[in-house]
A and B are shown apart, each in its own frame.
Chain A
Amino acid sequence: MRGVSTPAAAGVFVLAAALLAGCAAPQVTGLIGQRPAGLPEAAEIAATPFFPQEDYQCGPASLAAALVHAGRDATPESLLPQVYLPGRKGSLQAEVLAATRGHRLVAYPLAPRLEDLLREIAAGTPVVVLQNLALDWWPQWHYAVAIGYDLDARQIVLRSGVTRRLAMTLDTFEHTWARGGHWAMLALPADRLPATATESAYVSAVASLERIAPAAGRQGYETALARWPGSVAARIGLGNSSYAMHDLTGAAAAYLRATRDHPEAADAWNNLAQVLHELGSRAEALAAARRAVSLGGPRLPAYRETLEGILRAP
């Protein structure tokens, strides 16, 4: 360290060094100590595109890499008006997720586990991560894309900033990632289930997609149902996305199946009632609406409105 002479530079160095790289990180220690079954020693998605970041635009640059890898057309410039917030000189996590959905992809936030992150890389999906490169009281929030790792070398590989292939120790990464709230997300076509997907997190992610892209949402619910056929939320979602696409018969079939598999699901009865009503099956619609009302629950007022709507109709 002969080159560093000024106290300021030395101070920054000591802080950065001690706090970022100083000691072994808990999750890494666990992973190295007991290698999880089925997790390859090393993996790297070399084909992940790279967009060097400009100014404060690591969000658009990282997201563009993930979207292009998922087969969408995107560049940091095209994403700028979708995710960049000039007043904050950065991009909010919620908007990174939202812009992913804007490209008809499922935005799947990972569980805060390093093992899951590595499993997704091993499965061939680059992971967008948020790091805090500095300190809690002087945060330097930074998006990057995790594309590879090597457990023996204790390293992770990132597309980061202006560096195409940044190899960092897993420990340093975990420290910076932990300070970013362990936030990580995938951008996946709706026919591909994340390697570490859980039923509730995946169906929620699809429900958020359905709101702006019903066709992609419907495909996502089908993907979810292939893996978890008993998911009542996915079954109702399948009906709702069909309904949003004006496919009333498809919607009715999905709701009907939901009421058969889950007779206690009042929402399914309510939605079935509405779609049967629109299809002109008044008697069956009334029976379904009454079933929803008798089951009750927090959305009882909505069920009552559905019932009254059917009764009011000529």
Chain B
Amino acid sequence: MKLCHFRRAVACLLVLCLSATGTFPAFAGIVGTEAVITGVERGQIVNVLQRSEVQTRLQAMGVDPAQVQARVAALSDEEAAQLAARLDQLPAGGSDFLTVALIVFLVLLFTDIMGYTKIFPFTRPAATTK
């Protein structure tokens, strides 16, 4: 019971903070477009909590505190919910360029040999022996 009150107080505080800093786009009395589309009941407080969670985790992963708020603000409600739930498991595109170069080289070498492509002058494709 006490915990419940505490959480509600935290939520209210967050709503106040975020609406004051302009990252909370819903205005009193206006149903936001994202809510119109997704048909959510009243996702605002949940979403404010999710955004605050994402903010904390991005910061823990080395994002500059000065940038983190703007980054979270540009997420849609759905994306914020997704990141709050599984930020660790989502793909983070960023292969090391040497790895990329090596893999691409191997693939092209193979497709060259198979005769699908002709990139390297030194391959003698099997398929073009006719």
Contacts and interface: CB of A to CB of B under 8 A. Distances in A.
B10 interface: no
A27 interface: no
B33 A101 contact: no
A241 B74 CA distance: 15
A58 to B, nearest CB: 6
A259 interface: no
Contacts of B25: 210-212, 244
Contact of A162 (B67, B91, B93, B97): B97
B70 A102 contact: yes
Interface stretch (A10-18, A29-37, A66-74): A10-18
A255 to B, nearest CB: 10
A57 interface: yes
Given A133-B95, A140-B100, A143-B93, A86 B74 contact: no
Task: Identify the interface centre among A94, A160, A162: most chain B CB within 10 Å of its CB.
Answer: A94
Q: Is the interface of A mostly helix, strand, loop or mixed?
A: helix
A92 interface: yes
A125 interface: no
Nearest to B102: A12
A82 B92 CA distance: 14
Interface of A: 12-13, 16-17, 20-21, 53-59, 81-82, 84-99, 101-102, 130, 132-134, 139-143, 154-155, 160-163, 166-169, 171-172, 180-181, 200, 203-204, 207-208, 210-212, 217, 232-233, 236-237, 240-241, 243-244, 267, 270-271, 273-275, 277, 298-299, 301-302, 305-306, 309
